[in-house]
Amino acid sequence: MDSRFMKVVVKGDSMWPTYNDGDIIECTQYNGDEIELSTVIVFNHPLKRDVVCVKRVVRIDGERLFVQGDNPDPIASEDSHNFGWISTSNILAIERFD
């Protein structure tokens, strides 16, 4: 497999109903290109060094992104509502579409 591509396993229910716990997402390594609204990204948690998150971009302010899970239950996702905006420098990968 090309090193620019990776598979990410979803952990938890924050992205339900789009993704379930244990689903595998095909991703492309982030190369610094502009991120669009609604993109699903994989990123380093801004406050927990060893935690990697999968969330959807819902707002963009320059190099800052507001991300949240798809689950409509507000307590199902730890996201920008909890830790604030993230920097694009936190992004590891974006969901891949062929």
Q: Which domains does the chain have, with CATH numbers?
A: 5-95 (2.10.109.10)
Q: Which strands sit side by side in the sheet containing 5-9, from one edge to the other?
A: 5-9, 24-29, 91-95, 40-44, 52-61, 64-68, 86-87
**Dihedral sign of CA atoms 74, 70, 48, 33 in order:** negative
pTM, two decimals, is: 0.93
Look-up of token digits 């409509």: 72
The token duo for 5 is 């591509």
Task: Tell me the per-residue pLDDT of 13-46, one tens digit each, with 9 for 90 and over.
Answer: 999 999 999 999 999 999 999 999 999 999 999 9
Question: How far, in whole angstroms, is CA 58 from its chain's centroid?
Answer: 11
